[in-house]
Structure 1
Amino acid sequence: MLLSKTDEEVELLRQNGDLVSRTLAEVAKHIKPGITTKKLDQIAEEFIRSNGAVPGFLGYSGYPATLCISVNDAVVHGIPSNYELREGDIVSVDCGTLLHGYYGDSAYTFTVGEVSPEVQRLLRVTRESLEKGIEKAIAGNRVGDISHTIQEYAEKNGYSVVRELVGHGIGRHMHEKPEVPNYGVRGRGPKLVDGMVICIEPMINLGTKHIYQEPDGWTIRTQDGKPSAHFELTVVIRKGKAERLSTFSYIEEVLR
């Protein structure tokens, strides 16, 4: 049985959702050509710790950094390095926090300077597919309703959906049930119940859906080397409309 969270648990998850959102906005201030992804990671770690939390990803299953920073054809789980961001790059920044025994998780794909219209459109459609998925995250629906909506919208726009990586429940553990794939069949999968907290995170590719893992054991890349976009928000399942625990509004204030 999939248990929903109590109001007290939701409040703690909300605090984490707010912190990951503010951390991503802090990182957004520094994304520009020439900065290393390792420097962005350092900025995020310092910000998280200064707010009384610890990085949720650091040490998770042996992961060596605070952020997952995935550039261009890296889908997710890119390890921060001495790579310097370049004009025209896109960079998915995935952030996790651990505060008061609960986790936060959110991701946003940024542009570095000017990017091509083709890539801009990929980011827009991926973001829109997330919004459409959240619209289906209501009590009484099933996970497949979210999954199908994301897949249908992405594929209708000519993109492909990564199969091997999925969204997830979140709480005292970073990854809890249910898994939330970005593809599937309407009306199938676990039932969504009031108070369930999930992370919805479309990973959408410009080219093929096929991916591979680098020898570092973490970085996932598209098989054809074409760009991939990734956006993630944490929501609570409610009757009628999902309640958002993380937000892109802080990031958008920075990017204005």
Structure 2
Amino acid sequence: MAFGQPRIEYKTNAQMRTMHEAGLVLSRALDAAVAAATPGTTTAQLDAVFAAVLDEAGAKSNFLGYHGFPATICTSVNEEVVHGIPGNRVLKDGDIISIDGGAILDGWHSDSARTVIVGTPDLEDVRLSEVTEEAMWRGIAALATGKFVGDIGCAVDDYVSSVQGKPLGILEDYVGHGIGSEMHMAPDVLNYRTSHRGPKIRPGLCLAIEPMLVRGSIETAVLDDDWTVVTTDGKRSCQWEHSVAVHEKGIWVLSAPDGGAERLAPLGVVPVPIP
């Protein structure tokens, strides 16, 4: 018996506007967490700062309690790739940390991640973060100009492969996803080139685009907490993520206050507010 692909949820403009409101709350919460990521701060304190912004806005965390996850954000430090659990770990000068969080307003979800270098930066970490962030924007631009979801992964892969210097690895075990009335939905959004084109890009499609790059091997392992993913070679990693909506007139980055205008302009893409 053959089974079809998981159903994709296509949103109305009104639903996407609500997702943008959730994305704006999330952006403010990430702003606060990023500002608090200084030497001597614990990852649990970052979680508390983030949670306070959601509470003030009347939003809920879509991470807290998700399959038992115990916090409102993921804090992944150095060799931790994704799903790091906030706790008593103290941030040190030179650490690199990815802060991944989400918010729900009126039942609609947002999801976004940023990477921060704490204190004195290592130049290779700066390069890692800058390449990962730009790769995300290349993927978002491909959503605006491409025909299939697979075009996003091709754009990410092509950009990362073109960067001069020591090669960076693109994780393949963890990918982006659809988002809407749930945080994780169809379709998967790969961050690398394959022959699979994926579904067609059409209005109502909302995706979380989130490349994860590493300075070494792309092999990973999950720690005993059943959440935290680490590089097996101990090399550092990075994650950037935005939620993006496709509508009749273009795209809009739901988790960016300007809809992505500043970073997409050099790529020839002009985001359009949701009608």
Same fold (TM over 0.5): yes
Q: 1:123 to 1:23 in 2, by over 3 A?
A: same
Read off the aligned partner of 1:145 and give its amino acid letter: D
Equivalent residues of 2:43, 2:91 under 8 A apart: yes
In the alignment, structure 1 residue 198 sits paired with structure 2 residue 207: yes
Question: What SS does the corresponding residue of 1:22 show, helix, strand or coil?
Answer: helix
Q: Which residue of 1 aligns with 2:239?
A: 230
Superposition deviation, residue 248 in structure 1: 7.3
Work out which of the residue numbers 171, 174, 186 in structure 2 matches 1:165. Answer: 174
Superposition deviation, residue 242 in structure 1: 2.4
Work out which of the residue numbers 124, 129, 135 in structure 1 matches 2:135. Answer: 129
Question: What SS does the corresponding residue of 1:88 show, helix, strand or coil?
Answer: coil
5+ long unaligned stretches in structure 1: 250-256
Equivalent residues of 1:139, 1:192 under 8 A apart: no
User: TM-score, length-normalised on structure 1?
Assistant: 0.93
Moved beyond 3 Å, runs of 4+ = 238-241
Equivalent residues of 2:149, 2:189 under 8 A apart: yes
Superposition deviation, residue 183 in structure 1: 1.1
Work out which of the residue numbers 16, 23, 28 in structure 1 matches 2:29. Answer: 23
Work out which of the residue numbers 149, 160, 163 in structure 2 matches 1:154. Answer: 160
5+ long unaligned stretches in structure 2: 1-6, 259-275
CA distance in 2, matches of 1:236, 1:98: 16
Mean CA deviation greater in 176-185 or 186-195: 186-195
Q: Which residue of 2 aligns with 1:44?
A: 50
Work out which of the residue numbers 21, 38, 41 in structure 2 matches 1:35. Answer: 41
Read off the aligned partner of 2:204 and give its amino acid letter: G
Read off the aligned partner of 1:243 and give its amino acid letter: W
CA distance in 2, matches of 1:161, 1:242: 25
CA distance in 1, matches of 2:231, 2:147: 31
CA distance in 1, matches of 2:121, 2:257: 20
Q: Which residue of 1 aligns with 2:112?
A: 106
Q: 1:226 to 1:248 in 2, by over 3 A?
A: farther
Read off the aligned partner of 1:166 and give its amino acid letter: V
Q: 1:134-182 deviations in whole A, cap 9, x for unaligned?
A: 1110376111110111122223331111111110111110111111011
Q: 1:135 to 1:219 in 2, by over 3 A?
A: same
Read off the aligned partner of 1:229 and give its amino acid letter: C
Q: Which residue of 2 aligns with 1:188?
A: 197
Superposition deviation, residue 31 in structure 1: 1.2
Mean CA deviation greater in 25-34 or 177-186: 177-186
Mean CA deviation greater in 58-67 or 182-191: 182-191
CA distance in 2, matches of 1:120, 1:156: 17
User: TM-score, length-normalised on structure 2?
Assistant: 0.86
Mean CA deviation greater in 43-52 or 213-222: 43-52
Read off the aligned partner of 1:164 and give its amino acid letter: D
Question: What SS does the corresponding residue of 2:36 show, helix, strand or coil?
Answer: coil
Q: CA RMSD in A?
A: 1.6
In the alignment, structure 1 residue 211 sits paired with structure 2 residue 220: yes
Over the matched positions of the two proteins, sequence identity in percent amounts to 39
CA distance in 1, matches of 2:24, 2:256: 7
CA distance in 2, matches of 1:177, 1:96: 17
Read off the aligned partner of 2:87 and give its amino acid letter: S
